[in-house]
Chain A
């Protein structure tokens, strides 16, 4: 089975029904993608497929329809994506376990909605659960990342 993950091509001998989440975590070691619920209720496993935010626990690896981007492909400590930089500036994380998913969801939102309203943020991010309660900081960080990205475009 052929997959493109974070710009790297992989050819894996694996059953088609295995959720993408577990392929990423246990077969490829991309552990920034998190298991939280397995039923698309928490969003911790969110990745992009062709730029669209999806719950990787609900995508069978045989059904993957395009290039996959994980939190590791979005940016890294030496080359931060604007959303990650905003997450650091606002010190969003407490336990941090949901934040890979929150960041991937926010990055997908900003790719299609460069200047999101509060209602846009509510709609896009309410599928991502945070048990620590970092929602106020997430909202602020999304807005600040939007500003950074807008300035970069000018």
Chain B
């Protein structure tokens, strides 16, 4: 290690503690900053001014530890650093960096606190602050939960400002000019006489001095990037076929692999016969792995052909093999013994229903595969000294640990290189493919092995979205909704997922009621109960997680009650809503859609609202009943995110979220028969196509103080807005997804 780096290691302790502020008693030790992971890797003349900015004589690298899944995370993180650092985005490198506890996710912890996002009270704020400490202690580096923006918003601008001011201090040490008299511009410190000192020339000096941590973030009026349309860093590559995804990696001497593991996920392989496969062209080796078998070959297609030629006897599924038993398990879970949470219990719903016969309804939502278009893949090379892993993952630190557990290397000897993901929607919170590739690589004598799952293999092991069921009871009086009691039953996504990550999942799983218990409505008698169904098929987070089912349940039932009351769907939601930012998004979609203007016969309009991931989002859907089925004509969306960082990407994310919500609600489900998923490809797992896509008009509101992510919040209101519009058009209530089980669509 160079002398500069040694000094830096002692002195450059710039972490997030200075940003987060405040101290929670009893956890103070855990609030010490993590060491900057870039420091151990520096050569002479290099400076790592924070864990997010690396300056070398030949260039500047911004570290963007949240992985890009298509949501534009790399661009967004780079833009926040660059806003304060004063570098041109097309003149710097962007790198996801190494897995390291320094890159822990603050916002994910805050959202796990048992307070609704609308609660700004002392207890809620204090608890969110304390939640930060265990996340930091464990160094949870996860991309998910729409947290990239709230996590990065202050942290990365602060990192940019610290780096900028430290570079100015270095210039002061070098020139004797007062730091306060300097400015910065396009990667250089500008002295009062106009001369430029490029950051890259100041790196050595900057590494010798203590960092300047007392910085002030720029006012919005000074922003060059935030709030302006930006060209995404990856847009040219992604428009020319030159973006390299995990699946595209080519290494010298690389073997191509395919696997088949028990389609009854988690089941064993009882026996296999690879006699035919062994002799097929290009096949080098047959390798049994956990739950199945793999083939190493000289080409992906040859590997896939060979693995299909292996005769295999599969063991039984470790969960009920048929769907009836899954639905029965949910239906049987609406009992006191299975109550997981009842954090919303206003007034007295039991007393309300003692007087009147309640209005009741039951809703269902199926398992759903994530099925990102790039099948999951991983390339692994194992040598006695080190392991290298190339993959697109949302959980790089867990990947490092899991691979080390398989190979027996120290965790520090496992090098995870995070590559661009061809979509995820939560799928890359799992690392099954990495573990399989590691097992294969152990048999490959130091050669890199690229494992690509076939579409069918990937969808057989998708860890789908939870199956869920809800039962509502409600009452109306004098044209108003007066009582609402919603029970929701599902298996715990958190328990299933945390179990595979080796983390404890104690206490209630708030995802069972997310998007329902935390809605800002002042209904006099109002209760939301989460019932934890027994574990069934393994499940995981799917874009908007619990709210993807619960937003549909809660808003659909509210719409039914409003209809029973004879009230206007938008007016009554506004009357019941006591949260100003939420009222604003409802009013916005009302105005955008011309709510209340008459619609011709056979057309309908529906509104829905859901608060998820701290973001109030309202949508109005317009439909026409045609002779070929329901056609979606238009969607209007408004969401409150505090600050729209990149308007183009914001609109893209919202439109994509709406399409995601609508497409699956209309036509997709994952079902099990004989313990195996019945949908293994896009012929049986359809999705919205160009000809079915409506016009989607988007408005981002910036009234709130908290800055939020938009990847997930547009999903939950899409299905209920569509169902409510269809009811408005033809009088038919849709209480089960996918809707095409009950009605035709164009």
Contacts and interface: CB of A to CB of B under 8 A. Distances in A.
Interface of A: 15, 18-19, 21-22, 25-27, 29, 31-39, 41-42, 44, 70-72, 75-77, 80, 84, 87-88, 91-100, 103, 121-123, 125-139
Interface in B525-562: none
Nearest to A125: B690
Interface residues of B, number: 63
A108 to B, nearest CB: 15
A22 B663 CA distance: 30
B423 A135 contact: no
A88 B241 contact: no
Interface stretch (B208-216, B464-472, B652-660): B652-660
Contacts of A77: 236-237, 240, 242
Return the 9 tightest CB-CB contacts between A and B, nearest first: A32-B241, A95-B70, A133-B659, A96-B238, A97-B422, A71-B241, A133-B656, A22-B301, A122-B691
Nearest to A88: B239
B190 to A, nearest CB: 32
Contacts of B425: 131
A126 B247 CA distance: 25
Contacts of A126: 689-692
Contact of B238 (A72, A76, A93): A93
Given A35-B247, A131-B371, A87 B659 contact: no
Given A76-B242, A95-B70, 5 more contacts: A35-B247, A36-B375, A91-B235, A97-B70, A135-B689
Contacts of A26: 256, 299-301
B656 A97 contact: no
B373 interface: yes
Contact of B421 (A35, A95, A99, A121): A95
Contact of B235 (A15, A88, A125): A88
Contacts of A97: 70, 245, 372-374, 422-423
Nearest to A138: B690
Interface stretch (B1-9, B574-582, B680-688): B680-688
Looking at chain A's contact residues, the main secondary structure is loop
B270 interface: no
29 contacts: A15-B281, A18-B299, A21-B301, A32-B240, A35-B247, A36-B374, A36-B375, A37-B681, A38-B681, A39-B455, A39-B681, A42-B373, A76-B240, A76-B242, A80-B240, A84-B239, A91-B648, A93-B234, A93-B239, A94-B72, A96-B238, A96-B239, A97-B372, A97-B423, A99-B238, A99-B239, A129-B373, A131-B372, A132-B423
A144 to B, nearest CB: 13
Contacts of A75: 240
Interface in B282-320: 299-302
Interface in B669-712: 681-683, 687-693, 695-696
Contact of A91 (B71, B232, B256): B232
Contacts of B330: none
A134 B656 CA distance: 6
A126 to B, nearest CB: 4
B299 to A, nearest CB: 5
A118 to B, nearest CB: 9
